[in-house]
């Protein structure tokens, strides 16, 4: 803020907060999927249809976790190779910065 007026630099904070909240939401949803899948598996009592449904839920939760972690690792790899590994890819910056 400059003299109490938001500038374009404030968008960096907004996008950073959106990225953080989206990641937290994805992790929360994956955790809930694991819990629901495990609960359905434990309470299926050998019913073949319920077991398959629970295994599908757990399978998709694992797949979602792998995709989420792979996307994070790919972004970290891009940051390391092309941006010098300073974590700049996770900080949104508009224009050049004065600090190294």
pLDDT, tens digit, 9 for 90 and up, residues 27-56: 999 999 999 999 999 999 989 999 999 999
pLDDT for position 23: 92
For the chain, the DSSP string reads -BTTB--TTHHHHHHHHHHHHHHHHHHHHHHHHHHHHHHHHHTSTT-HHHHHHHHHHHHHHHHHHHHHHHHHHHHHHHHHHHS-SSSGGGS---S--S--
pTM, rounded to two decimals: 0.75
Give bridge partners of residue 5 from the DSSP assignment: 2
pLDDT for position 67: 97
For the chain, which residues score pLDDT lower than 50? none
pLDDT for position 19: 86
Q: What are phi and psi of 5, to 5 degrees?
A: -105, 125
pLDDT for position 81: 87
Q: How far is CA 96 from the centre of its chain?
A: 27
pLDDT for position 83: 77
Cα–Cα distances (Å) from 72 to 38, 66, 98, in that order, read 26, 10, 28
């Amino acid at each position: 803020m400059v003299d109490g007026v938001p500038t374009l630099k404030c968008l960096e904070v907004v996008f950073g907060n959106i990225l953080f909240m989206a990641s937290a939401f994805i992790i929360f949803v994956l955790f809930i999927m694991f819990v629901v899948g495990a609960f359905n598996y434990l309470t299926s009592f050998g019913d073949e249809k319920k077991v398959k449904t629970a295994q599908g839920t757990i399978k998709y939760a694992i797949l979602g976790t792998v995709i989420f972690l792979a996307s994070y690792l790919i972004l970290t790899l891009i940051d390391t190779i092309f941006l010098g590994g300073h974590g700049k890819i996770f900080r949104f910056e508009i224009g050049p910065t004065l600090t190294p």
